[in-house]
Chain A
Amino acid sequence: DTAVSQTPKYLVTQMGNDKSIKCEQNLGHDTMYWYKQDSKKFLKIMFSYNNKELIINETVPNRFSPKSPDKAHLNLHINSLELGDSAVYFCASSPVLGANVLTFGAGSRLTVL
């Protein structure tokens, strides 16, 4: 069983479209995250949720809206996609808030044309 699973793995879309990436973890973890990895491999935190509550929002444009229907799921919706949104988006989870060890998903590569 995959611990942290993301769908879709690849996403190609046109500028201006709206798209969503879904994430699910079966580890029983309380805390989930979204990271963005740019073309130079830099990993940047976007959001963190703890038990469905938003904990961190790192100066991400409000076109990005995370949603956590329950503590096992954290979805990312992006409105009005721009070229600069092209990146690999990683979902991750950790056992509790304050536990530093992250388990990452395999990533979702978004390409905006």
Chain B
Amino acid sequence: GENVEQHPSTLSVQEGDSAVIKCTYSDSASNYFPWYKQELGKGPQLIIDIRSNVGEKKDQRIAVTLNKTAKHFSLHITETQPEDSAVYFCAASLSYIPTFGRGTSLIVHP
């Protein structure tokens, strides 16, 4: 089955800095890579996703890049704000059930 590694487990930045979270996956047949944000006391919420036929996707301050050859993908958040503080999960999907990484706790200090 698919295995997803996510780093770092904790990321602390100052407001306005950029944050990068990296994930690797094991199964080269995986073709869908979503990112979820989980705020305290809430369920994960999809923030951006990318499919294997695209190398990069951007939505305002958030971007995701995918390197199929190396089997890794990354989430980039620019101009971080305190409300970006949350746990972020990457996932890779081969069939219809995504395999999640172990999460990154992002802390943005004002």
Contacts and interface: CB of A to CB of B under 8 A. Distances in A.
A98 B44 contact: no
Contacts of A48: 96-97
A71 B103 CA distance: 30
B100 A43 contact: yes
B96 A100 contact: yes
A99 B96 contact: yes
B102 interface: yes
Interface of B: 32, 34, 36, 38, 41-46, 49, 87, 89, 93, 95-98, 100, 102-103, 105
B97 A45 contact: yes
Contact count band on A:
20 to 34
Given A100-B32, A100-B34, A101-B34, A43 B44 contact: yes
Given A42-B103, A106-B43, A107-B41, 19 more contacts: A40-B102, A41-B102, A41-B103, A43-B44, A43-B100, A43-B103, A45-B97, A48-B97, A56-B97, A90-B44, A92-B43, A97-B96, A101-B49, A102-B36, A102-B46, A104-B44, A105-B43, A106-B42, A107-B43
A25 interface: no
Contacts of A107: 41-43
Contacts of A4: 43
In the A-B complex, the 9 residue pairs with the smallest Cβ-Cβ separation, listed nearest first, are A104-B43, A43-B100, A41-B103, A100-B32, A98-B96, A100-B93, A104-B44, A106-B43, A105-B43
Nearest to B42: A106
26 contacts: A40-B102, A41-B38, A41-B102, A42-B102, A43-B100, A43-B103, A45-B97, A48-B97, A56-B97, A92-B43, A99-B96, A100-B32, A100-B34, A100-B49, A100-B93, A100-B96, A100-B98, A101-B34, A101-B49, A102-B36, A102-B98, A104-B36, A104-B44, A104-B45, A107-B41, A107-B43
